[in-house]
Every structure is written in C-alpha cells, then in structure tokens.
Amino acid sequence: MAYLLLYVDDIILCTSSDSLHDRLISTLQIEFPMSDLGPLSYFLGISVTRTPSYMLLSQQKYAQEILERAGMGSYKPAATPVDTNAKLSAASGPPVFDPTHYHSLVGALQYLTFTRPDIAYAAQQVFLFMHDPREPHYNASKRILRHIQGTIDHKLHLLSYYSLALDHLH
C-alpha cells in the first residue's frame, strides 16, 4: 500500500514496505526530476517525530505563531475550546471591526485542526460565520486560542498498523 501527498512541488510518500518505496521513487524519478530528502521531519508547518511503532504530528510552532499574531500570547488558558453555555447565531452582536483579521484567524484555526482534533468542532462553529462575522463569533475564536495556549504541547499520536495489531494480540 502506498500513499502519495502532492502539494505544489513537494511530495510525501508513505509505503507499506521499503521495496515498494524504492520502486515508486525509481519510477517517479524516470518521469520527473526529483530528489529523495529522506524521512519526513517537517512539512507545511507540521513537525513529524517517528519511531518504529508510531508517529507524532505537531503544529506547536504554528499554534504559537497564531497566538502571537492575535496578540494572545499571555492570555489566561481556557480548559475547553468552546463555551457550552453560549450559542452562536448569525445575527448576534455587532459586526467585527476587521473581518479580514477574523478570516485569517479562523482560517489558521481550521488548518490547525489537522493535528488538533480537540478543536475541530469549535473551529467549525466559528468558520460557519465567515461571511458575516460578529463580535460573539470573534470572542468564540479567542476562546479557542485560549484553549490552545493551555494545550500548546498537544500532538496527534498515530500508531502504525503493525503496532495496532500487536497491541490487539496482547
């Protein structure tokens, strides 16, 4: 089995065996000028740590950049990414002062969900209001940032199929 991710002129190739990896690289090199940069360690703001049994994906540096851009590097962390008592609606509150800032912030949060499934629901909720963002929507996005600040070291832990099988047999 092989997975190939292509982004502009960068390729990530994951294969189920070294021999398949070598065959695919050789075939691709016949058609395209390319070089193998070795094991993946960083790609599009995602840091990758690999072991034989798992991979850790982290966007900690990216999350820190989002916090700094939003001027929220020293805010008090929130235990959860969403306020369960507040319900967002399309017509609640005045429009945000700078919709472009809101769009940039919410877009960044959406990308962060790749390694942070804990914020996926909350990010999707604020994303719903991109067309006409209001102050309560912006405040909800700041709540997500406060949660990220308190959990900035969270990583996505991906187990290999082999380690899953071994764990299942034990």
Task: Give all strands (DSSP E) within 16-152, no chain letters.
Answer: 42-43, 46-50, 54-58
- Beta-carbon contacts of residue 97 (< 8 Å; ≥ 6 apart): none
Token pair 């058609």 is at which residue?
31
Indicate if 68 and 99 belong to the same structural domain: yes
pTM of the full structure? 0.80
Q: Collapsing DSSP states into helix, strand and coil, what is residue 124?
A: helix
Q: Are 92 and 136 in contact (CB under 8 A)?
A: yes
The pLDDT value recorded for residue 170 is 34
CA 84 to CA 91: how far, in whole Å?
Answer: 19
Indicate if 32 and 108 belong to the same structural domain: no
In a domain, 28, yes or no: yes
Q: Which residues constitute the domain of residue 116?
A: 60-150
The pLDDT value recorded for residue 113 is 95
Structure tokens at 33: 């000028």
Indicate if 120 and 72 belong to the same structural domain: yes
CA 157 to CA 144: how far, in whole Å?
Answer: 21
Indicate if 9 and 82 belong to the same structural domain: no
For residue range 9-38, list pLDDT tens digits in order. Answer: 888 888 878 888 889 988 988 988 888 888
Indicate if 106 and 146 belong to the same structural domain: yes
Indicate if 88 and 135 belong to the same structural domain: yes
The pLDDT value recorded for residue 160 is 72
Indicate if 71 and 135 belong to the same structural domain: yes
In which element (H, E) is residue 25 found? helix 18-31
Domain count, the chain: 2
Indicate if 119 and 85 belong to the same structural domain: yes
* Low-confidence residues of the chain: pLDDT under 50: 164-170
Indicate if 33 and 1 belong to the same structural domain: yes
Indicate if 91 and 12 belong to the same structural domain: no
